[in-house]
Structure formats: C-alpha cells, structure tokens
Amino acid sequence: MIEHINVTKTINAIADQAWAAISRIGGLDRWFPIISGCSVLGAGEGATRILTMVDGGKIKDRIESIDHQQQSLRYNRIESPFPVLSYLGTVNVRKVSDAKAELSWTVEIDVQEGQRDAMVGLIHHALTEGIDGLEVELQQLNRT
C-alpha cells in the first residue's frame, strides 16, 4: 500500500542557507536524533548517503536528483531495516521572506497494511525532528 507522508514547516532561516545544507547531502546525524552517523560516497546525483541509526541499523540512500534552481532534492532509500518495499523522499525549500524558509519533506513508501500505522507515525515523527534539528543548526550558524 502506497502512503504519502509530508511534513512542511516554516523555519526561521534564510532559504539559501537551508538549501545549501540540504543540497550538501550529509549532516543528517546532526539534525535527526535517531541517526548517529552520516557519510556520503560520491557527490551530487548518484551519490550514496549511508546513515547509521542509534540502534546500529544501517540505511543507504541514492541521490536521484538535485535541482538547485527549484531547490529540490530527491533520494531513493535502497537499503533500510524498516518493513517497506520502497521509499522515495523529496525535500523542497522555498523562500518565505528574507529570514524565513518553508521546508517541505515528503516521503512516499510502499508498506504492508499491517505495518502502515507504525511506519507512517515513525517517519512523520522523524521528519519533524529532522526539520527542527536543521532549523536549530541554521539559527546557531547565524548567531556566530
């Protein structure tokens, strides 16, 4: 069963700075409490992002597209400990004002019916925490 999960939030950050952080592909270990390590093999489209979860689980993402003009990044989760058959993530950044950006993180998963509620809840919570973590990091950068 295909599910779409979206978390959209206006953050107190400059859109170009938010996009720069997203488009660098790495850094998720600083934003998501569930992730303890993040490394990137390669660069740009086709790169592989390897995430280590705090419980030791491993996740691999392949970067499918990076559109600097539209400020949009798309990745395909090719390895995961979660019970999903497919996972496609898209992150979009949009300028709201000189000091605010809208961050929209959408995930499309194919998940078995019995796992639906648990996976939707877990992913929604993780995305919310990740966006909040990115906002905190960007605010700290602007204070220095």
Q: Averaged in consecutive runs of 10 residues, what is the pLDDT profile of the chain (144 residues)? A: 95 96 95 96 96 96 98 97 94 96 97 92 96 95 74
Neighbouring C-beta atoms of residue 66, cutoff 10 Å: 22
Report the pLDDT value the prediction gives residue 1, as an integer from 0 to 100: 85
Report the pLDDT value the prediction gives residue 143, as an integer from 0 to 100: 76
* Residue labelled with tokens 């939707």: 120
Pick the CATH number of 2-143 from 3.30.530.20, 3.40.30.10, 3.40.718.10, 3.10.20.340: 3.30.530.20
Beta strands in 12-83 (DSSP E): 35-41, 48-53, 58-67, 72-79
Bridge partners of 105?
A: 7, 91
Six-digit token string for 75: 């990745």
Report the pLDDT value the prediction gives residue 142, as an integer from 0 to 100: 76
Report the pLDDT value the prediction gives residue 144, as an integer from 0 to 100: 64
Helix/strand/coil for 71: coil
pTM over 0.95? The answer is no
CB 112 within 8 A of CB 83: yes
